[in-house]
């Protein structure tokens, strides 16, 4: 039994049909090459109106092209969903944060719609330059901010790399980033003059305040506040990413002293293989780790080398990351500054570059590429400082160079 009712022929090659699933009448256009019909809704409920609509749209009807459905195992939509499932597994393994996963899921859903609107259903529909001008078009035509577009570009590049790793895709696809987004990010030094001091002063005052009644003024809150203050200090001293130090235990840490006349603490953190750009040893000077160890010995009921650096007060479990996020929000509100925690890393990298440490050493020590340092972090410094750096006139930090 036919799934439609043939009503009448309008002209040779086009007839009207009524489908049970729709109240509207359809135009069925015969394709001689494939000997098949293409269906197009007229949006009309009566035969007379449908016939009139067809006569007004004859040219577009005869230009209709069949749209391939699905795409099987090479369906773009299916492969993006698979990639999002893979990212969720990475989140469960602690490789990426929940906030990062939520951002990627949002971008992934955007690309599912974006590809569908443009009729890109299979990988074979993606050509080398399909996404070449995606970033600039999103900024100029859709009015999106460069930072948002750069996140989308990062995601689509990551998706392409995933397909290549899974041997689903073997040809490169070109996706340009948005240069303006990099310029926005590197418009000035990570911390303007006096802002870093203002942040530390606000943290000091906040630590001395009595906690709100709903949190209680108890040992746990005091411990968390002290631990957060040292977390900020460690971010600045080490230049590590937040997730790289948050999950470390004391077994991953080595603390010693310099061999020079100025006795200063030298720390080494072992970053695991799953980190960005692979495993590495990060060496830096500072007292934050020593202070954290002293804090835990003083306030925690039991302490061992198996403990997390940022452990909870009572048990060896990671402190709730949302607690630190909430504390940072309080500090930003007090100072009126809108810096991110990642800016402490940018600040550290900038200071190393300006002190004369070779970019190759900075890259290896902090998990960067030379290209990223040259295109991003060197641009934090004023032009005069950059020229002095190139000419090797800045005072070199030979001690730190030797350690790194």
* 110 vs 210, higher pLDDT: 110
Res. 397: pLDDT tops 50: yes
Q: What is the pLDDT of residue 204?
A: 93
Res. 393: pLDDT tops 50: no
For residues 384-398, b (16+ Cβ closer than 10 Å) or e, as one string?
Answer: ebeeebeeeeeeebe
Distance CA 269, CA 235 (A): 12
Per-residue pLDDT tens digits for 105-163: 999 999 998 998 888 888 888 888 888 888 888 877 777 878 788 889 999 999 999 99
DSSP 8-class letter at 378: G
Per the DSSP assignment, residues forming a β-bridge with 285 are: 266
Contact criterion met (CB below 8 Å) for 262 and 255:
no
Q: What is the pLDDT of residue 184?
A: 40
How large a percentage of the chain has pLDDT more than 70? 82
Distance CA 359, CA 372 (A): 10
Q: What is the pLDDT of residue 213?
A: 47
Distance CA 203, CA 324 (A): 12
One DSSP character per residue, 127-192 reads -TTTTTTHHHHHHHTT---HHHHHHHHHHHHHHHHHHHHTTS--S-------HHHHHHHTSS-SS-
CA distances from 288 to 4, 62, 201, 213, 237 (A): 75, 73, 17, 30, 8
How large a percentage of the chain has pLDDT more than 90? 24
> What does R_g of the chain's alpha carbons equal in angstroms?
30
Burial status of residue 6 (CB atoms within 10 A of its CB: 0-12, 13-18, 19 or more):
exposed
Q: What is the pLDDT of residue 384?
A: 46
Scanning the structure block, which residue is given the tokens 């492969």? Answer: 79
For the segment 323-340, the average pLDDT, to the nearest whole number, is 91
Per-residue pLDDT tens digits for 259-308: 555 567 888 898 887 666 678 889 998 899 999 999 999 998 888 888 99
For the segment 3-28, the average pLDDT, to the nearest whole number, is 85
DSSP 8-class letter at 35: T
**Model confidence band, residue 390 (pLDDT cutoffs 50, 70, 90):** very low
Distance CA 53, CA 10 (A): 11
DSSP 8-class letter at 313: S
Which of these, 389, 51, 396, 354, lies nearest to 190 by C-alpha position?
354
**Count of CB atoms situated within 10 Å of the CB of 215:** 13
Contacts of 166 (CB under 8 A, 6+ apart): none
Burial status of residue 182 (CB atoms within 10 A of its CB: 0-12, 13-18, 19 or more):
middle
Burial status of residue 199 (CB atoms within 10 A of its CB: 0-12, 13-18, 19 or more):
buried
Distance CA 2, CA 95 (A): 54
Distance CA 28, CA 22 (A): 14
CB < 8 Å & 24+ apart, contacts of 302-307: 304/250, 305/249, 305/250, 305/251, 306/249, 306/250, 306/251, 307/249, 307/250
Contact criterion met (CB below 8 Å) for 21 and 32:
no
For the segment 312-317, the average pLDDT, to the nearest whole number, is 88
Q: What is the pLDDT of residue 349?
A: 87
Q: What is the pLDDT of residue 378?
A: 65
**Model confidence band, residue 186 (pLDDT cutoffs 50, 70, 90):** very low
Which of these, 245, 392, 402, lies nearest to 310 by C-alpha position?
245
**Model confidence band, residue 226 (pLDDT cutoffs 50, 70, 90):** very high
**Model confidence band, residue 389 (pLDDT cutoffs 50, 70, 90):** very low
Per-residue pLDDT tens digits for 38-66: 888 888 889 999 899 888 888 778 777 65
**Model confidence band, residue 351 (pLDDT cutoffs 50, 70, 90):** confident
For the segment 63-74, the average pLDDT, to the nearest whole number, is 59
Contact criterion met (CB below 8 Å) for 16 and 26:
yes
Distance CA 270, CA 266 (A): 13
User: Which domains can be identified in the chain, with CATH numbers?
Assistant: 4-62 (no CATH), 72-185 (1.10.150.130), 195-403 (1.10.443.10)
Per the DSSP assignment, residues forming a β-bridge with 5 are: 18
Q: What is the pLDDT of residue 295?
A: 93
Q: What's the pTM?
A: 0.54
Scanning the structure block, which residue is given the tokens 């440490």? Answer: 357
**Model confidence band, residue 84 (pLDDT cutoffs 50, 70, 90):** very high
Which of these, 292, 285, 328, lies nearest to 309 by C-alpha position?
292
DSSP 8-class letter at 280: E
Q: In the predicted model, what is the mean pLDDT of the chain?
A: 81
């Amino acid at each position: 039994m036919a799934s439609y009712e043939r009503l009448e022929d309008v002209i040779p090659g086009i007839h009207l049909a009524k489908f049970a699933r729709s109240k509207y009448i359809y135009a069925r256009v015969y394709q001689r090459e494939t000997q098949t019909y293409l269906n197009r809704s007229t949006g009309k409920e009566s035969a007379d109106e449908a016939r009139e609509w067809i006569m007004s749209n004859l040219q577009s009807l005869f230009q209709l092209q069949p749209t391939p459905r699905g795409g099987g195992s090479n369906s773009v939509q299916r492969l993006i969903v698979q990639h999002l499932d893979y990212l969720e597994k990475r989140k469960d393994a602690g490789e990426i944060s929940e906030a990062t996963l939520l951002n990627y899921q949002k971008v992934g859903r955007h690309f599912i719609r974006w590809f569908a609107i443009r009729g890109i259903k299979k990988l074979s529909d993606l050509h080398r330059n399909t996404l070449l001008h995606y970033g600039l078009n999103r900024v100029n035509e859709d009015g999106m901010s460069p930072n948002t577009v750069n996140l989308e570009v990062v995601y689509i590049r990551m998706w392409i790399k995933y397909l290549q790793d899974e041997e689903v895709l073997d040809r490169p696809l070109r996706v340009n980033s948005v240069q303006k987004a990099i310029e926005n990010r590197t418009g000035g030094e990570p911390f303007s003059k006096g802002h870093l001091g203002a942040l530390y002063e606000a943290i000091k005052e906040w630590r001395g305040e009595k906690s709100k009644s709903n949190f209680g003024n108890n040992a746990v809150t005091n411990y968390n506040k002290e631990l957060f203050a040292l977390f900020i200090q460690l971010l600045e001293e080490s230049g590590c990413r937040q997730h790289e130090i948050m999950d470390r235990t004391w077994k991953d840490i080595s603390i010693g002293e310099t061999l020079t006349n100025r006795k200063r603490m030298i720390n080494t953190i072992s970053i695991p293989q799953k980190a960005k750009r692979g495993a590495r040893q990060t060496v830096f000077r500072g007292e934050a780790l020593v202070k954290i160890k002293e804090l835990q010995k003083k306030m925690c009921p039991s302490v061992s080398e198996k403990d997390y650096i940022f452990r909870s007060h009572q048990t060896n479990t990671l402190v709730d990351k949302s607690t630190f996020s909430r504390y940072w929000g309080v500090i930003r509100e007090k100072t009126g500054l809108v810096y991110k925690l990642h800016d402490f890393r940018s600040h550290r990298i900038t200071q190393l570059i300006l002190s004369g440490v070779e970019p190759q050493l900075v890259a290896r020590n902090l998990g960067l590429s030379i290209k990223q340092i040259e295109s991003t972090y060197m641009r934090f410094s004023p032009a005069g400082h950059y020229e002095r750096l190139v000419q090797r006139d800045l005072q070199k930090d030979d001690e730190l160079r030797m350690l790194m």
